[in-house]
C-alpha cells in the first residue's frame, strides 16, 4: 500500500523471464553464445599456466603417490614447534604456523621446513638452524679467512701508497684484481675445510607481507617433496608488520660450490614464478662462509655480500664441473670410489604439472 492506495503485485514479480534484458540485449546474448560454442576446453588446458597454488599442490600430490617409509626420512628439526614435523601433513603445518600472523618468539625465531629425503649426516644431532654438513672445520676456515682479509687490507694500502700519482680508476682496477684473488682463496679455503653448507648457504627471497603465506606455502610444499633444496625458512611477524616492508624467505642448498645444484634450485624457484614476485628484480645467494667472516653489505673490504645473483646465472648458466673454471667442487666419495649423492633416489612418475612447465632456457 502506498499513499493509502493498494498496489497489485504480480505473482511473478522478482523473477527474471527469458525475455528479460538482464543478460543483455539480443546482440549481446548472441555474442556470448557464439563464444561459448567456440570455446575449446582441451586447448585451454594445454596452454593454461597453473597458479602458484596449483603447482605446489601438484608437487604434493605427486610425492604422496610415491610415499617412502617414514623410517627412511630425516628431519633435523624434529620436536621443534616452529618447524614442520613428519607426522603432520604439510597443509596442517601451514595452517598451524602461517608466517603472516605467527609472532616472533624465543622459541620461534624462524619457521622451518626440511627436505625429508635428505640423507641424515652421520654423528650429527638435531640442529636449530640449517641441516648441518659433515667433516667441517669452521675454526680453521674462519681463522684462515680473516688472515686473507687482513692480507687484502695490506695489499690495498700498498697499492694506494705506491700508485698515489695514478688515477682513482687505475688504482681501483688494481685493487679489484687482487680482491678477486683473495675472494677466490677464501672460497677455496671453505671448500678445503668442508664448510660449503650451513645456515647461510641460501637463495634469499623478499616477500611482501600480504603475499608471504602463499609464497611460503609453495616453497614449503616444494621443499617437503624434494623439489627444491635441503630446507627452507621464513621470518615470522616481528610485531611491527606495518613497518615491515618484506619478509625474508631462505632456501638452502647443500653446497655453495656445487653450481649445478645451486642453479637447479634457482630454476625450480623460477618455475614456481617466485623470482618475478620478489621486491627486487633479481634474487641473491649468500654463502655461510661470508656470514662467519661478517661480510655484510657495508664491509670494509668492499666484497659483495652475496656470492651469486639470479640474473647472472640465467644469463650465463654454469657448466658441468668437468668443463667449468673457477670454484673447485668438493665431492665426498664412498669406499667403493663412487661419488656419494646427497639425496636419496626417488622414482618420479610423469604428472600433469610436467605438461604445464615452461622451458626458460
Whether 266 and 248 have beta carbons less than 8 Å apart is answered as no
Task: Give the pLDDT of residue 36.
Answer: 72
Are 114 and 125 contacting, i.e. CB atoms less than 8 angstroms apart? no
Q: What is the pLDDT of residue 72?
A: 78
CA-based nearest residue to 182, from 157, 156, 200: 156
Contacting residues for 49 by C-beta, under 8 A, at least 6 apart? 356, 358
For residue 132 the three cell numbers come to: 648441518
pLDDT at 26: 75
Question: Residue 188: which residues within 8 A CB-CB, separation 6 or more?
Answer: 327, 328
Rg of the chain over Cα atoms, rounded to whole angstroms, equals 28
All residues at 6 or more sequence positions from 324 whose CB lies less than 8 Å from its CB, including other chains? 259, 318
Residue 204 zone, left/alpha/beta (φ > 0; ψ -120 to 50; rest): beta
Give the model's pLDDT for residue 60: 58
Encode 233-269: b = buried (16+ Cβ within 10 Å), e = exposed: bbbbbeeeeeeeebbebbbbbbbbbbbebbbebbbbb
pLDDT per position as a tens digit, 49-78: 666 666 666 665 665 555 554 447 888 899
pTM of the model: 0.69
Pairing outcome for strands 284-286 and 202-207: antiparallel
What is the pLDDT, as a whole number, of residue 128?
47
Q: Please give, one letter per residue, the 3-state secondary structure of 316-360.
A: CCCCCCCCCCCCCCCCCECCCCCECCCECCCCCCCCHHHHHCCCC
- 43 has a pLDDT exceeding 90: no
pLDDT mean across residues, the chain? 77
Q: Report pLDDT digits (tens) over 163-221.
A: 998 999 999 999 999 999 999 999 999 999 988 887 768 999 999 898 999 999 999 99
3-state helix, strand, coil in the chain (%, to 5): 40, 10, 50
- Helix (H/G/I), strand (E/B), else coil: 89: coil
| pLDDT band, very low/low/confident/very high, at 266 (cuts 50, 70, 90) | very high
Q: Which of 30-39, 126-135, 238-247 has the lowest mean pLDDT?
A: 126-135
- CATH superfamily assigned to domain 90-131+196-315: RNA Cap, Translation Initiation Factor Eif4e (3.30.760.10)
Which residues are CB-neighbours of 286 under 8 A, at least 6 positions away? Answer: 200, 201, 202, 204, 305, 306, 307
- Residue 19's pLDDT is what? 56
Helix-helix angle 138-162:168-192, to 10 degrees: 160
Confidence at residue 338, expressed as pLDDT on a 0 to 100 scale: 33
Q: Where are the domains of the chain?
A: 90-131+196-315, 138-193
Which pLDDT value is given to residue 340?
Answer: 34
Q: Which three cell numbers stand for residue 153?
A: 687490507
Amino acid at each position: 500500500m502506498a499513499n493509502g492506495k493498494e498496489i497489485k503485485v504480480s505473482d511473478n514479480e522478482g523473477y527474471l523471464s527469458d525475455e528479460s534484458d538482464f543478460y543483455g540485449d539480443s546482440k549481446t546474448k548472441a555474442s556470448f553464445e557464439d563464444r561459448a560454442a567456440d570455446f575449446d576446453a582441451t586447448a585451454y588446458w594445454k596452454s593454461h599456466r597453473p597458479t602458484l597454488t596449483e603447482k605446489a599442490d601438484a608437487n604434493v600430490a605427486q610425492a604422496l603417490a610415491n610415499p617412502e617409509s617414514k623410517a627412511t626420512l630425516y628431519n633435523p628439526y624434529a620436536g621443534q614447534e616452529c618447524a614442520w614435523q613428519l607426522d603432520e601433513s604439510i597443509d596442517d603445518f601451514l595452517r598451524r604456523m602461517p608466517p603472516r600472523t605467527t609472532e616472533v618468539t624465543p622459541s620461534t625465531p624462524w619457521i622451518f621446513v626440511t627436505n625429508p629425503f635428505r640423507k641424515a649426516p652421520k654423528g650429527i644431532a638435531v640442529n636449530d638452524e640449517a641441516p648441518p654438513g659433515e667433516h667441517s672445520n669452521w675454526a680453521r676456515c674462519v681463522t684462515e679467512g680473516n688472515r686473507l682479509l687482513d692480507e687484502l687490507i695490506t695489499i690495498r694500502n700498498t697499492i694506494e701508497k705506491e700508485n698515489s700519482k695514478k688515477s682513482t680508476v687505475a688504482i681501483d682496477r688494481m685493487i679489484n684484481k687482487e680482491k678477486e684473488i683473495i675472494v677466490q682463496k677464501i672460497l677455496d679455503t671453505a671448500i678445503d675445510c668442508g664448510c660449503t653448507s650451513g645456515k647461510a648457504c641460501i637463495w634469499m627471497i623478499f616477500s611482501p607481507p600480504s603475499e608471504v603465506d602463499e609464497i611460503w606455502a609453495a616453497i614449503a610444499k616444494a621443499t617437503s617433496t624434494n623439489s627444491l633444496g635441503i630446507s627452507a625458512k621464513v621470518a615470522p611477524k616481528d610485531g611491527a608488520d606495518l613497518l615491515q616492508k618484506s619478509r625474508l624467505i631462505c632456501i638452502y642448498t647443500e653446497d655453495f660450490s656445487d653450481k649445478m645444484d645451486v642453479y637447479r634450485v634457482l630454476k625450480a624457484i623460477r618455475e614456481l614464478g617466485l623470482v618475478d614476485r620478489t621486491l627486487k628484480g633479481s634474487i641473491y645467494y649468500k654463502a655461510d662462509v661470508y656470514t662467519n667472516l661478517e661480510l655484510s653489505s657495508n664491509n670494509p673490504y668492499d666484497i659483495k655480500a652475496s656470492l651469486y645473483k639470479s640474473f647472472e646465472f640465467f644469463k650465463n648458466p654454469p657448466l658441468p664441473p668437468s668443463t667449468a673454471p673457477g670454484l673447485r667442487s668438493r665431492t665426498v666419495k664412498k669406499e667403493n670410489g663412487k661419488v656419494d649423492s646427497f639425496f636419496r633416489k626417488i622414482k618420479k612418475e610423469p604428472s600433469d604439472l610436467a605438461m604445464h612447465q615452461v622451458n626458460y632456457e
